[in-house]
Amino acid sequence: MITVRIYRRGSDTLVAACDKELLGKTFREGELRLEVTSFYEGEDADEDMLLNRLSFCTVANLVGKKTVEIATKHNLISSDCVITIDGVPHVQLVKM
């Protein structure tokens, strides 16, 4: 399961999404640290809902294998842009 939260500020819409089982966990690798906080906690989502939310966002912050895989599979992000912190994929998307 994925969890998705939407933030709106002015003309920007940010989608924060992660694999639900990662909520509340912190991942470290070298100097990198990824905290999966309540920032990501929102609606339970499947692939279709995530794609719907990503279709109207201007910015996205995605964490987790399932979440990032969906965005990659639908060519919303390039796998070259994904970083992995302690085995957990993370990517940010900005539409210009």
Q: What does pTM read for this prediction?
A: 0.95
Structural domain including 31 reads 2-94
- Could you say which residues of the chain have pLDDT below 50? none
Q: What CATH number does the domain containing 52 carry?
A: 3.30.1860.10
Question: DSSP string spanning the chain?
Answer: -EEEEEEEETTEEEEEEEEGGGTT-EEEETTEEEE--GGG--EEE-HHHHHHHHHS-SEEEEESHHHHHHHHHTTSS-GGG-EEETTEEEEEEE--
Query: Based on the structure, what is the number of domains in the chain?
Result: 1
Per-residue pLDDT at 30:
95
Per-residue pLDDT at 96:
82
Per-residue pLDDT at 51:
98
